[in-house]
Amino acid sequence: MAVLVGKKAPAFKAAAVVNGGEIVKDFSLNQYLGKNHVLFFFYPKDFTFVCPSELHAFQEKLNEFEKRGVKVVAASTDTPESHWGWLQVSKDKGGIKGITYPLIADQTKTIASNYGVLFGDYLYNEMDELEADGPMIAFRGLFLIDKEGIVQHQLVNHLPLGRNVDEALRIVDALQHHEENGEVCPANWTKGKTAMKETFEGVADYLSKH
């Protein structure tokens, strides 16, 4: 599994459903370069159980991300038609109607592979037949990408383990605090709390007060 922190986020163009129902052909994260941070997350599969809880949880906090200038983008290995269909189903029936951030359709599975979150290996046997070990869907990967396109944070959960959206917001706040103030954020730091200067004196001063 790739560790992308500190590296350029892999570029791609793919079909996506945007604004809750419009299918576009060549969606790319490059449109945000120089303008926005991006919270890019993968979920395993449309029409499943844990996934809608995560998608709705990110939607519920979307205003908080947008206030911070962060674009939220999701992806799975489903088709754009599958995304679109799921968006027509109401929340009380297990659907994701009301989700407005982009849902990328990684049909070739190359995006998940390049981000190191594709669950399952594949090969061609001696008969030139494709064989896969695993379901070939995405783990619950999450990547915080800065305005220069550099991955600053990544988190990967196995399929049964849903993510904490408040923790994703906390990481955004920590990164933006560091970018704006040059300070580093200690354990359990949250917005509004004291951070520390990246010197021995700064650390000593912080620890003496906590």
**Which residues are catalytically annotated?**
51
Strands 70-76 and 37-42 come out as parallel
Strand ranges, E, within the chain? 14-18, 22-27, 37-42, 70-76, 103-105, 118-124, 130-138, 140-145, 151-157
Q: Which of 72, 91, 65, 79 is nearest to 32 (CA)?
A: 72
C-alpha–C-alpha distance, residues 116 and 114, integer Å: 5
Helices 165-181 and 50-60: crossing angle, nearest 10°?
Answer: 40
Helices (H) and strands (E) in the chain, counts: 6, 9
